[in-house]
Structure 1
């Protein structure tokens, strides 16, 4: 794993760094999508059962952004 980690990171040698480090900002967001109660992977109900409300669908996004290079990482 150590070899793979360093080999992968070395493939981005032309990226701008700050004192030798890549600066990454982490963001997590919930994205509202179309109401589809049959989609069990994205349908959420949480506390709506207690209030007799319908649920909703959403996706969760975790993103890393390299501001010095204006790139989203994965």
Structure 2
């Protein structure tokens, strides 16, 4: 798998994922708790791996491309 998430986005995903998982404690509805757990874990795992399934399907990459060397 080719990485398609930049380092900055990884940090943002970690933080957002933690807040989503913390949403488990804010509700009494089991469906919402399970949704928060699944979505939060997906966001944290995608940040950890540096690869996002949704980005892959859409052809999006936030990784800066390597500088191209010019041959003069």
TM-score bracket, shorter-length normalisation: under 0.3
Task: Compare CA radii of gyration and give the structure with the larger one.
Answer: 1
Normalized per residue, the structure richer in helix is: 2
The alignment's TM-score, normalised by the length of structure 1, stands at 0.23
The alignment's TM-score, normalised by the length of structure 2, stands at 0.23
* Structure with greater contact order relative to length (CA < 8 Å, sep ≥ 6): 2
